[in-house]
Structures are given as C-alpha cells and as structure tokens.
Structure 1
Amino acid sequence: MTHFDLLLIGTGSGNMFLDDRFSGLNVAIAEEWHFGGTCLNVGCIPTKMFVYPATIAEQAAHAKHYNLSTDFHGVDWPALQKRIFDRVDAIEAGGRDYRSGDRQPNVTVVAEHVHFTGAKTVRTASGEKITADRIVIAAGASPFIPEAEGLDPQLVDTDGYPVFTSNSIMRVSQQPERLVIIGSGIIAMEFAHVFAGLGTEVTVIARGPRLLGNIDEEVSEEFTELFERTHTVHRGAEVSSYSFDDNQVTVTLTPGGRLGDVDLPSQIDTDAVLIATGRTPNTTGLNVIEAGFDVLDDARLSVDSRQRVLAHGQPVPGVFALGDISSPHQLKHVANHEADVVGDNLAIDVATGEPGSAAEADLREVDHHGVPGAVFTSPQVAYVGITEAEARRAGHDVSVKVQKYSDVAYGWAMADDPGIVKLIADKATRKILGAHIVGHEASMIVQPLIQAMAFGQPADEMATRQYWIHPALPEVVENALLGLEFEET
C-alpha cells in the first residue's frame, strides 16, 4: 500500500491547478489515457483544427452565391492530420513529461486505471492499493454507445472496425467517402460539418424532431432548416441494427417515436459510422458507489457549490471533483473555472490542517450563471443564459427580439446569408436573460452579450452607451438590443 497527501484522478482541467501551492505535498496523478484529457486530444482543440479548413472548403465550393468562380477539389487528408496531431501530440507528451520528470520530484504519475474501494482508497489495474488524505476527481466522461443488433460495443474505436466515436474518428487513416453520423447534438453537428465540408457524403440520423434540440426551440428550428438545405438528415429515426461485410456497413433504420410517422429509407449503406449520441460521466468505471459517494440520475458525481464531493448529501472531507464527471455543463471553459475553484479551496483546506476543517466562509463557490457555449458547425450556433421557454417558466415578464443578419449592412455584404440573433430579457430589470445566435461567426459576436450578463449590464445601456463599429457584423446584436421593449421608468 502507498499513501499520498493528494491523489488527482484525471489530467484534463484537473491538471491545471496543481501549482507551487502544492509543491510541499506528496502527490499522485492517476492517468490511464492521454495527458490533457478530452479537450486537447479528442475534443475542442483538434475538432476546431478540422473545422476551420472544412469551413474554407465549404466556402470555396459555394462561392457562386457571392459571384465568384472557385472550386473545392479535395483535401490532403494525411497532411491535414499530420499538421493537427503533430501539434496536439507534442503538447500531450510535454504535459506527461513535465509531471513525470525531475522538474516535479514530489509528483508520481500512476499510468493506469484506478477505481475506488473506499472514500480515500483506490486500487490500480495492476492491483496496487493507494490511499490519500485528499483526492480530486477529474476523470471526465466517455462516449455513450446505444445498443443495437449486430453492434459490438467492445470493438467500437478499434482498428479494422468501421464504427467510431469522437475518440477515434479524427485519426482514421483514410477519409471515408460515405459516413453515417448517429446523433443530433454538438458533437454530431460539428463532425457533420467537418466531413461534409471536406467532401465526404454525410448522412445524419437524428432521433428527435430538431437538430441541437437542447438549445432555444426557435433557434433550434432555424438551425435545423438551414442545416437541412445542404445536408442529408433523417429526423425521427434511430438505428435498429448493423451488418458488416468487407467493404461497407449497412445500418437499418426504424422510427424513433418522437416525430410521429416519418418516411425513412429502410437501410443505408456506408463506409463508416460515427456514433455521436452524447457522453456519460466516468463514475461507473471509477466505482464511486463503493466509496459511498452520491451519484445523480444522469451518472454525474454529486458535488456542492464549493466542488466538494457529497456522500449522503454531506461533503466528504478533502474530496473534490470537477469537469465532466460532476459538472452540469460538459464544456472546457466551465471545467477550467471549476478547476480554479477546486485549486483555491484545496489550498485553503491544506493550510487549515485536517481535511475538511476549512471554514465555509473561506471557500469559493462555483459560478454557473450565464454559461456560454458554441457549436462550430455550418452555420455556427452560440448561446448564453436561458431559453425563452425557461425564462417564462421561471416567471419572468420577458421581452424577446429576433434580429436577422440580413437586416444590417454586413449581412448585405454576405449576400443576405441567413442568420438570426435572438435575445430574451426581463422587462422590469432590463437584464439579459439569454442570447441565442445562428449564423456566421456566432461564437464571436455572442461575446459582448456574455460580458453584459456577467456584469449585470442592462440591455438598453449596452445598446446605447458604447460605440458599435459600422458596418461590422455585431450591429446585428446592437439592433436586437434596441428592439427589446421594457417597462417605462
């Protein structure tokens, strides 16, 4: 048995807070996979490095809309992969070397899977027992794979098996000519854009009535209509079975039961399948039930506002969690914020002596107000705050304004490309409750709205008490703000 002052499980955002404040501790880091976690290796960073060239390729292929004569003739897939993963893999290796080498003699890297056998005890895959005074759980989430006849979940993401998740699809040796994507959320929509933009024949299988169904309904409907103009989508469908031969995969479709009667092809032949139906927190693999920790219905580890892990509703002294394994938001920027909170609270906890002895008032609370997100697909989608339906359910007297991109001069420059900005505000307080955008550079023009919500700036002041560059695209945000109606004061 080996004992440590601190055990950190996972090296995504959990690897960020381990700085000089903890140099006096004997620390173990358990990481069975890649250093840097999902975002660096199979998520945010490499996907956007694929998205950008896919967007350029799409623009070249559709330039006639702008009275231009350009074409897209294909992608050098191996060269694109090399450019992306030479950088990503070097960062991963550097992070591992930093934690494993002589520069941090107080840190021991345990390069294997661990699972809990008690609240402060884990066992490694090779059988070693490890105990720790304090533990930070940052083990992330894994792709969810729905059951279907003919599919072997154990073979997904393995060499030679043409069914992939986001963990492996970017590393395929050859770009598939045909790809079926199962799912309609963020991961599915981004990869649909990547592969379709780069020339693959993409078919999306969506169980629900809309794409990106978790965002504001009006915005989701707008995105669905725009996406279906240029992509093959079968909504209200799910895959009931798979069959394989040497050259292709055949998926059999059945109605998903969420869209009534739907006209579906009975089968689709494809070269590869990407399963993008969401990600599940890695609580089961860690056997957190054995530790006595509380687990929510969606498999997340239960934490309080200070990121302390709960058991029977009470904080476990010295045990914290962050990121996808516990957060209601599977977003890197949220995990980074939670890591900041955990780092500060852990340092305070260590300074007080006994695990869990820090005063409540001294500990930071996490802030999940106004969490923004973006979908890097075509067109882009961005959002912050709550939806119109959520605002009404919460009892707000809401003011809603939908502004078209084509209403502003930059929209004319874009040949009236489609896009909308939808704002939801409270009529009495004049505060922005939510913002939802579909269109060109949505991920950028949402940022001033994020700032206004973070600092409580009233919508009318935001619209009128600053310059808006003319004729830049953010004028669509300005006009949406000006279109909101408020109670007279």
Structure 2
Amino acid sequence: MRHHDLVVIGAGSGNAVIDESFAGLDVAVVEEKWFGGTCLNAGCIPSKMLAYAAHVAETVRGAGTYDVDAELRAVRWRELRDRVFGRLDADREEGRRGRVESGFVTVYEGRAHFTGPRQLRIGLPDGALDISAEQIVVAAGGRPLVPAPVAASGLPYETSDTVMRVDAPPRRLAVLGGGYIAAELAEVFAAAGSSVVIVEKEDRLLGPQDETVAERFTELVRSRYDLRLGREVTTVGGRPGALRLTLDDGSTVEADMLLIAAGRVPNSDRLNLEAAGIRTHDDGRIVVDAHQRTTADGVFALGDICTPVQLKHVANREAEVVSHNLRHPHDLASADHGNVPAAVFTRPQIASVGATEQDCRDRGVDYLAGTARYADVAYGWAMEDATGFCKVLAEPGTGRLLGAHLMGPQAPTLIQPLVLAMALGTDASTLARAPYWIHPALTEVVENALLDLGL
C-alpha cells in the first residue's frame, strides 16, 4: 500500500491547501472529475461570465431609456460559450499540469473512498489502488440535487454542471427551483432568447434573502418569466426535446429543456465515511470543529462537503485554515462564518450580509432598519433606476450593524463597506459620518441608508 504524508481528496478549493511549504512532504491529490472544482468549471466563474454578457445584451435592449438608439441583433451563444469555456478549460488544464509537474505532488485521477482509518481506495481507469496517509483532507464538494420525479422519468435534464455548455439555448426552458442558481441561469438564457418558466415550491423566489429583497425581486421578474410559485413537479413526461411537466395542482408546463436548480447535496455519501470514523450531520455534511477537524484523527474537511455556508469564498477561507493547521498543530486557526457576504448576479444584482429582518424577528432581536433608494441619489438619477435600494439593520443604542441588503446595480461592490464595518466592529453612526462618501457616486445610497437609522 502506497503511503503518503498528506492526501487531499478534491482539487477545487482543496487544491489551494497545498503550497510550496509542503514541498518537503509526500503529497497526493485525488480528483475524479475536474481540477478547479465546481467554481471554475460549472459554477461561480462561468455563470458570471455568461451573466455579464446577458447584462450587456439587456443594456442594449434598454438603451432607449437613455435616449440612445441601439438594436440588439443577436447573442451569439456558441461563440460566447466557447470564449468562456475556452479560457476556463485552459485554466483547469494548467492547474492540473502544474500539480503533475510540481515534483512533490502525486495526482490520482479517480474517485476515492475510505476503507479504514486514513486508508483509501481509488478507482482508476486501469483498476483500483489502495493508499494510506498520515493526514487526509476531504474537499470532495457537492453536486446538484435531482428530485425523485425527474430522476424516475428517465427523460433528459440539465443541471448547473451541464447547462452552460449546451450547443444552443432552448426555445422553451423550464427551470425547477427558485434560488440563486435558478435565478442567475434563468437570466442568462432569457437574454439569449429562451422563453423561461420557473417552478418553485415556495411562494417567492430567493426565499433565504431578506423578505423585502425576495418580494421585490419576485415581482420584478414576473414580467420576464412565467412563474409557477407554490408548486412542485409530480411527474415528467413527453419525450426528449418536448417535455411535459405536471405540477401538483394539475397544471402542466411544456418545455424543450429542463434545468434542475433545486439545491445541492454534499458528496459525503460517496466516500464510505463510516469506515474512517467520520461523522456527518443529518443533511450529509461532514461534522467538523472550529479548526476544520473531523471526528477522525488526522482527517480535516473543508468546503461544500462540510460547511454550512456553501460559497467559494468560504471554501477558500477554510482551505487557508486547513493549510495552516496541517503545518501548525499546536497553533490552530479557525474560520469565522458569522457574517459571510453573498451576491446574486441577476438583473438587478443582489448582495447581502448578516441577519435579515425575518431573522431578527424569529430570534427576538431588537433592531432598527434604515433604507435608501437608488432613485434618491444623483447617480441613481443618471441610471434611471427606479427599483434599487439599500437596507441596513442595526442594534438600537449601540448602532452595531446586524445585517445589510442591497438590490440594484453594483450591489456586490456597494455592500463591501458594510461587510468591513461588521468585520471590524465599526458602528453604523461612525461608518456614516467619519469617512467622506464621494458625491455623486452610487455609494451615497449606502450612506443614506445608514443615516436613515437615526442614530
């Protein structure tokens, strides 16, 4: 049995664990699908590259708002797709090649599962290989959840893993799910010319967002998509290219293509974790402590397979923590998941950090809410924006920021001063009054929301 000092299962954020400080060790990386993980190959990066092109297309379509005569002739989907994935696939291969040629990292391209404490079996094209290690990092990520009626139908469907690489946008796209993945990909394909139907079991889209954001976004996109809210798919019929979804109220949806964006599940069920003594939560996530250690000695975990916040920047932070802790077992670091910012790259864009209003109510937390509209600042006038807003939540008396939520252009950038303030303990009044806020920049909407707290 080949023995290594360190084995990392998963070459997404797991790949970031290993740097030159490990060069004196015998290190191995096991990856069954693609280097760079979901983010590079089928997630954050390609979806945002496509979303930016969609935004450009919609800007041209709406140019008349700004007294500009312009006409959108086409979104050249195949050229767009090839540009995006031509770059990303090259980055993936460069990353893989860099590991192979590093001189201290052995790359195993196959699926691994535990056979005992710190022992693995890897399925390779030419058979199985058993290895062991002093330390193991599990960073095997997650995968799209496929609802039972869809899986049972035997009919074709797409997920976020596959849909961005299709040869052409469908004439009719049915999207099952109402979260951020569904919203972003619906935006991309609508801009490319698809007629979109969204089927979502909740009564509004983007349910985990602050209630005001979720309500207003849902109303804004009603004119763009056929929304079937509060509904679930019971059966999928028809034939490839001509699908028929039957919903729980008896209504039907006809579609050429079905996109499943109903959530994700961790890949823990594929690893035989019991053999290693690694416990999981009820939802399948691996149990880790504050230092990313699992319940098995010498085994760490990071990213979507264990984290409660399944975002790339969280996985990257956890990779930094694991990298440090592998080398410094007597000076352990930890990751703080208390106020993790997130963004949705739709039209309009959305960004959030911390508590929502419904969180505060559910927890019995006293709070103040301050709001400001894009339409009330000068740059909002320039943009002719009538829907964007910023909401900040703060603790009465102290002004401690509890949460912040933006919907509108540049939201993922505008929220960063609020993220910094929450991380550094700067109260709302100080943040509003101590720094200069550029006039007439769009950041004034953040300043005005802070002032609206009345602190």
TM norm structure 2: 0.96
Name which of structure 1's ranges 367-376 and 407-416 shifts more when overlaid on structure 2: 407-416
Aligned counterparts of 1:290 and 1:221: Cα–Cα separation in 2: 46
Are positions 1:235 and 2:239 aligned together?
no
- Aligned partner of 1:478 in structure 2 is 447
1:303-332 per-position Cα deviation (integer Å, ceiling 9, x unaligned) = 00001012xxxxx32211110001111101
Are positions 1:187 and 2:181 aligned together?
yes
- Aligned partner of 1:26 in structure 2 is 26
RMSD of aligned residue pairs (Cα, Å)? 1.5
- Aligned partner of 1:413 in structure 2 is 382
Measure how far apart 1:82 and its partner are: 1.3
- Aligned partner of 1:208 in structure 2 is 202
Measure how far apart 1:268 and its partner are: 1.7
Name which of structure 1's ranges 68-77 and 329-338 shifts more when overlaid on structure 2: 68-77
The one of 333, 336, 349 equivalent to 1:364 is: 333
Aligned residue for 1:214, secondary structure, equals: coil
The one of 177, 185, 188 equivalent to 2:171 is: 177
Aligned residue for 1:304, secondary structure, equals: coil
8 Å CA contact retained: 1:427, 1:485: no
Distance change (3 Å), C-alpha of 1:287 and 1:386 = same
8 Å CA contact retained: 2:183, 2:346: yes
- Aligned partner of 1:114 in structure 2 is 112
Aligned residue for 1:309, secondary structure, equals: coil
Aligned residue for 1:250, secondary structure, equals: strand
Percentage of pairs with the same residue: 46
- Aligned partner of 1:99 in structure 2 is 99
The one of 210, 214, 223 equivalent to 2:217 is: 223
Aligned residue for 2:199, secondary structure, equals: strand
- Aligned partner of 2:326 in structure 1 is 346
Measure how far apart 1:286 and its partner are: 1.1
Aligned counterparts of 2:144 and 2:210: Cα–Cα separation in 1: 24
Name which of structure 1's ranges 90-99 and 412-421 shifts more when overlaid on structure 2: 412-421
Aligned residue for 2:147, secondary structure, equals: coil
Runs (5+) with no aligned partner, structure 1: 156-160, 256-263, 311-315, 350-357
Name which of structure 1's ranges 244-253 and 292-301 shifts more when overlaid on structure 2: 244-253
TM norm structure 1: 0.89
1:175-231 per-position Cα deviation (integer Å, ceiling 9, x unaligned) = 211111110001000001101112111111111011000111122111111122322
- Aligned partner of 1:296 in structure 2 is 281
Aligned counterparts of 2:150 and 2:349: Cα–Cα separation in 1: 35
- Aligned partner of 2:47 in structure 1 is 47
Distance change (3 Å), C-alpha of 1:408 and 1:149 = closer
8 Å CA contact retained: 1:119, 1:291: yes
The one of 418, 438, 454 equivalent to 1:449 is: 418
Aligned counterparts of 1:150 and 1:322: Cα–Cα separation in 2: 29
Where in structure 2 are the equivalents of 1:6-405 lying within 5 Å?
6-101=6-101, 104-125=102-123, 126-148=127-149, 151-152=152-153, 162-245=156-239, 247-255=241-249, 266-310=251-295, 316-349=296-329, 358=330, 362-405=331-374
Aligned residue for 1:229, secondary structure, equals: coil
Are positions 1:423 and 2:392 aligned together?
yes
1:338-396 per-position Cα deviation (integer Å, ceiling 9, x unaligned) = 111100001113xxxxxxxx3xxx21121112100000011111000111222344443
Aligned residue for 2:18, secondary structure, equals: coil
Equivalent pairs, count = 452
Measure how far apart 1:71 and its partner are: 2.5
Aligned counterparts of 1:341 and 1:221: Cα–Cα separation in 2: 37
The one of 418, 428, 448 equivalent to 1:459 is: 428
Distance change (3 Å), C-alpha of 1:472 and 1:149 = closer
Aligned residue for 2:445, secondary structure, equals: helix
Distance change (3 Å), C-alpha of 1:410 and 1:251 = same
8 Å CA contact retained: 2:351, 2:406: yes
Aligned counterparts of 1:286 and 1:71: Cα–Cα separation in 2: 52
Aligned residue for 1:341, secondary structure, equals: helix
The one-letter amino acid of 1:245's match is: R
